[in-house]
Amino acid sequence: MRGTPEAERLLAIPVALLALAAGGGAAIAAGLVPGRWLGLAVVVAGVAGVYELVRALRILSRRRRAADAWLRTATGGFVAPSYAWRARQLTSARERRTLARTLRLLVREAFERPVGRRRPLPLPAVREHRDEVLLLARRLERVEEPVTPAGMLRVVELVTDGASPLWTTVQDDALADAIATTLDLLRPDVRETHAA
């Protein structure tokens, strides 16, 4: 949720309530403050803090999903100011390196031999299209070259969606096609061409 607008404001009350509950609970446990009413107040503050935290996280998650939906369908290099925060998150060097590292880890896992009880993930599509997966990882690692938020969302979906071609147990060209499309979407100039 780092970089999400108003995250600090939305999380301030739940964090304060949980801190109050923790402090009051510690004071009661240490015997510094006796009393049933204080114990009840601590429990109420803790429950309210948890409730408010869940509510704030749901609001932030809803905002992120709305931004992702808009960025996924956006054409060209234009990003609406209201979603620029999410575009910055997606195209950050940190996010790109994390996804590249994950792709490299999957390639390594696809070729690992079983050791003891640990069995490697069944990744036949990754084994078959190793070069394409590594090409995508190298593209993400070149952080000096700009990428589009839509392309980054495509990479995130490729890695995190269990139904994506990356995780399929069938050997076909779906993964190679998905990576080729993703590489095209990552290039800002290609996005501009598709918009025309």
Out of 73, 92, 111, pick the residue that ends a domain.
73
Using the structure block, give the residue that is written with the tokens 């509950």.
21
Whether 79 has a pLDDT exceeding 90, the answer reads: no
Specify whether 61 is located in the same domain as 89.
no
Domain boundary among 18, 49, 73: 73
* Whether residues 54 and 144 fall in one domain: no
Q: Is residue 1 part of a domain?
A: no
Report yes or no: 49 and 18 within 8 Å, Cβ to Cβ. yes
Q: Are residues 23 and 112 in the same domain?
A: no
Distance CA 3, CA 135 (A): 29
Find the domain containing 104 and state its range. Answer: 81-195
pLDDT above 90 (res 17)? no
- Same domain, yes or no: 142 and 112: yes
Residue 55's pLDDT is 92
Token couple for 105: 């880890």
Percent of the chain at pLDDT above 90? 48
* Structural domain includes residue 109: yes
- The answer on 187 and 151 residing in a single domain is yes
CA–CA dist 49, 52 (Å, integer): 5
Total domain count for the chain? 2
pTM score of the predicted model: 0.78
The pLDDT tens digits of the residues spanning 145-187 come to: 999 999 999 999 999 998 999 998 877 899 999 999 999 999 8
Cα distance between residue 68 and residue 87, in whole Å:
9
| Helix/strand/coil for 66 | helix
- Residue 35, domain member (yes or no): yes
